[in-house]
A and B are shown apart, each in its own frame.
Chain A
Amino acid sequence: MEPLIEARHIVKRFGELVANEVERFEVRTGEVHGLLGENGAGKTTLSKILYGFYQPDAGEIRVGGALVRIATPAQARSLGIGMVFQEFSIVPALSVFENIALFMRALPAVLPRAALERRIAEVADELGMPMALEVPAGALSAGAQQKIEILKQVLAGMRVLILDEPTKVLAPQELTGLFGTLAALRARGYGVVLITHKLREVLEVADRISVMRKGRIVAVQERAAATEAGLLALMFEGRVPLADARGGARSMGGKALELRGVSTDALQQLSLHVREGEILGVAGIAGSGQRELGALIAGSTRPRRGTRLLWGEDASRWSIARIRQSGVAFVPENPLEIACVGELSVAENFTLGERRYRSGLGIDWPRVHADAQAAFARLGFRPPPLNAALRTLSGGNVQRVVMARELGKQPRVIVALYPTRGLDVRSAQAVRDSLRACAAQGAAVLLVSEELEELFELSDRLVVLRQGRLAGEFEPSAFAPEAVGAAMVHVH
Chain B
Amino acid sequence: MIAALLIASVAAGTALLYAALGEIVGERAGIINLGVEGVMLVGAACACAVGAMSGNPYFGVLAAALAGALISLVFAYAVVDCAANQLAAGLSLLLLGLGVSALIGNPFVGAVMPGLPSLARMDALVALVLPLTALIAWGLWATRWGLQLRAVGENPTAAFAAGCNRRRLQYQAIALSGMLSALAGAHIALGVAYTWAEGMTGGRGFIAIALVMFARWNPWGAVAGALVFGGAEASQLQLQAHGVDVSPFVMNMLPYLLTLAVLPLTGKRGRLAAPAALGRPYRGVE
Contacts and interface: CB of A to CB of B under 8 A. Distances in A.
B148 A102 contact: yes
A191 B143 CA distance: 33
B161 A89 contact: yes
B106 interface: no
Contact of B151 (A73, A91, A113): A91
B154 A93 contact: yes
A111 B158 contact: no
A365 interface: no
A103 B144 contact: no
Contact of B142 (A89, A93, A102, A111): A111
Interface string A324-345: 0000000000000000000000
A111 B147 contact: yes
Contacts of A107: 144
B187 interface: no
Contacts of B151: 91, 94, 98, 102
A457 B107 CA distance: 84
A113 B275 contact: no
A92 interface: yes
Contacts of B142: 110-111, 113
17 contacts: A74-B163, A89-B158, A91-B154, A91-B155, A91-B158, A91-B276, A93-B150, A93-B273, A93-B276, A94-B147, A94-B150, A94-B151, A102-B147, A102-B148, A102-B151, A102-B164, A110-B143
B266 interface: no
A107 B159 CA distance: 14
Contacts of A113: 142
A90 interface: yes
B95 to A, nearest CB: 29
A102 B162 CA distance: 6
Contacts of B145: 109
Contacts of B276: 91-93
The secondary structure that dominates the A interface is: loop
A203 interface: no
Task: Describe B's contact surface by its main secondary structure.
Answer: helix
A74 B160 CA distance: 10
B155 A89 contact: yes
A71 interface: no
Given A89-B161, A109-B144, 19 more contacts: A89-B155, A89-B158, A91-B151, A91-B155, A91-B158, A92-B154, A92-B276, A93-B273, A94-B147, A98-B151, A102-B147, A102-B151, A102-B158, A102-B159, A103-B162, A111-B142, A111-B143, A111-B144, A113-B142
A319 to B, nearest CB: 23
B157 interface: yes
A220 interface: no
A89 B143 CA distance: 21
A74 B163 CA distance: 9
Interface of B: 142-145, 147-148, 150-151, 154-155, 157-159, 161-164, 273, 275-276
Contacts of B144: 107-111
A103 B144 CA distance: 11
A110 B145 CA distance: 8
B272 to A, nearest CB: 9
Nearest to B143: A110
Contacts of A94: 147, 150-151, 154
Contacts of A109: 143-145
Contacts of A90: 158
Interface in A426-461: none
A109 B158 CA distance: 20
Interface in A85-103: 89-94, 98, 101-103
Contacts of B162: 102-103
Contacts of A110: 142-144
**Closest 7 A/B residue pairs (Cβ):** A89-B158, A91-B154, A102-B162, A91-B155, A103-B162, A107-B144, A93-B154
Given A102-B162, A113-B142, A89 B157 contact: yes
A298 to B, nearest CB: 26
A102 B151 CA distance: 8
Contacts of A111: 142-144, 147
Interface string A39-66: 0000000000000000000000000000
